[in-house]
């Protein structure tokens, strides 16, 4: 009877060592996924900001300068694990498009075969360039057309 009692105590130790090992791997995977999602969200926010900033200026030179300033501010220090940041911003007459790429290295032996050792984050955003003066003129013209010129 005493032998059986010691055997049960030992089985709890073996089960606990297996469960704790699995829990540690799951926690590490969750932390890794959280860092990756953070980097993707940060990249998306930066790309949106760069595209939106350029749509607020009247002249093409000011617009290009503002977009390049924000794009130049996209730096690796704001990311938790992403590497090889690259991208560009294109300003046209009607819209601004910003595209940015980053690579997130995947640790582990098996992951190198599944994800080729890296995950990619590719984000882009396009903003139409709005000219507030033209919009106000159109609204005033439509108002005058509807009211017959009376204010």
Cβ 63 vs Cβ 96: under 8 Å: yes
Q: What average pLDDT is seen over the chain? A: 79
Q: What is the pLDDT of residue 27?
A: 92
Whole-angstrom distance, CA of residue 14 vs CA of residue 6 = 13
Give the pLDDT confidence score for residue 22 in this predicted structure. 93
pLDDT bracket for residue 8 (50, 70, 90): low
Q: What percentage of the chain has pLDDT greater than the value 90?
A: 5
Please choose, from the candidates 99, 98, 90, 93, the residue with its C-alpha nearest in 3D space to the C-alpha of residue 129: 93
Higher-pLDDT residue of 8 and 95 is 95
Q: Tell me: pLDDT of 59 over 90.
A: no
Distance in angstroms between the alpha carbons of the first and the last residue of the chain: 102
pLDDT at 21: 92
Query: Is the pLDDT assigned to residue 54 strictly greater than 80?
Result: no
Place of tokens 């704001």: 78
Contact between 102 and 80 (Cβ < 8 Å) = no
Pairing of strands 95-105, 118-128: antiparallel
Residues in contact with 55: Cβ distance below 8 Å, sequence separation at least 6, in sequence order: 63, 96, 127, 128, 129, 130
What digits encode the pLDDT tens for the residues 113-144?
Answer: 766 777 888 888 888 877 777 778 888 888 88
Better pLDDT: 22 or 89: 22
Q: Is 84 left (phi over 0), alpha (psi -120 to 50) or beta?
A: left
Q: Where are the domains of the chain?
A: 2-130
Which strands sit side by side in the sheet containing 95-105, from one edge to the other? 83-91, 95-105, 118-128
Neighbours of 130 (CB within 10 A): 10
Per-residue pLDDT, averaged over 14-37, amounts to 89
> Which residues on neighbouring strands pair with residue 104, listed in sequence order?
119
Confidence band of 9 (pLDDT split at 50, 70, 90)? low
pLDDT at 55 over 80: no
Q: Which of 100, 97, 108 is nearest to 33 (CA)?
A: 108
Provide mean pLDDT across the span 9-38.
Answer: 86
């Amino acid at each position: 009877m005493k032998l059986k009692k010691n055997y049960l105590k030992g089985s709890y130790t073996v089960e606990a060592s297996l469960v704790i090992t699995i829990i540690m791997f799951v926690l590490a995977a969750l932390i890794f996924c959280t860092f990756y999602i953070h980097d993707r969200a940060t990249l998306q926010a930066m790309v949106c900001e760069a595209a939106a900033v350029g749509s607020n200026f009247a002249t093409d030179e000011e617009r290009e300068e503002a977009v390049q300033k924000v794009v130049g501010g996209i730096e690796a220090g704001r990311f938790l694990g992403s590497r090889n940041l690259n991208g560009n911003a294109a300003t046209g007459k009607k819209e601004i498009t910003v595209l940015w790429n980053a690579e997130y290295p995947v640790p582990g032996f098996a992951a190198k075969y599944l994800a080729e050792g890296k995950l990619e984050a590719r984000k882009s955003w396009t903003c139409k360039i709005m000219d507030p003066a033209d919009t106000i003129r159109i609204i005033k013209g439509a108002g005058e057309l509807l009211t017959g010129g009376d204010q």
